[in-house]
Amino acid sequence: MIFGLALHTTTEVLSLAIARLDEPVEEQVGEGDLNNRSLLCLKQQSWQLGRELSTQLHLLLAEFMVSYNWSDLGFIAIAKGVGSFTGTRIGIVLARTLGEQLAIPVYAIGCDEILQRSQALQVPQSLGQSLLSIAQEQWAQSQYPHWSEALPYIPNSSE
């Protein structure tokens, strides 16, 4: 089994989600349209951490992953911002470290794209599910970004 792991650390709420990559399911995206392939999210969880993200993230992630093998991860998806300066960077560093150690791709995805995906479906997805589905589409198209390419969103000073 191959899994994808999503980490959303850009707000005061830590969101984690995991899905099987080798068994997508049909999803209804419009009336009678079942052509879109979607992930079956096996587990998702959120915690309201506020400023405790930096001290709780590793413990909560370890507890979240207790039923899964790290070696079975096919990719990690991380929200790259716009969001909390500290939370975003903590998440990016964690995702890059895991990506490097596990030799798997890390998909850094902007919060605007995640939110748009979440709201575009008839039944809105959680942000973790949306993050996973965006990364899975890239993974299925053989786009495997190196962990070092995962960078936080930094707005231009002119924005």
Q: What is the pLDDT of residues 74-85, one digit of tens each?
A: 999 999 988 888
Note whether residue 7 is domain-resident.
Answer: yes
For the chain, how many structural domains are there in total?
1
Q: Which of 157, 156, 154, 131 is nearest to 19 (CA)?
A: 131
Q: Please work out, in degrees rounded to the nearest 5, the angle formed at the alpha carbon of residue 1 by the alpha carbons of 53 and 64.
A: 20
Domain-located, residue 45: yes
- Edge-first strand listing for the sheet containing 73-79: 36-48, 13-27, 3-8, 73-79, 106-109
Percent residues over pLDDT 70 in the chain: 84
CATH number of the CATH domain containing 60: 3.30.420.40
**Is residue 104 included in any domain, yes or no?**
yes
Any domain includes 128? yes
What is the per-residue pLDDT for 34?
37
Could you tell me where the DSSP H helices lie in 11-154? 53-64, 85-102, 111-120, 127-140
The answer to the question of residue 54 being in a domain is yes
Domain with 62, as residue range(s), is: 3-27+35-149
pTM as predicted = 0.84
Question: Does residue 19 fall inside a structural domain?
Answer: yes
Residue 159 lies in a domain: no
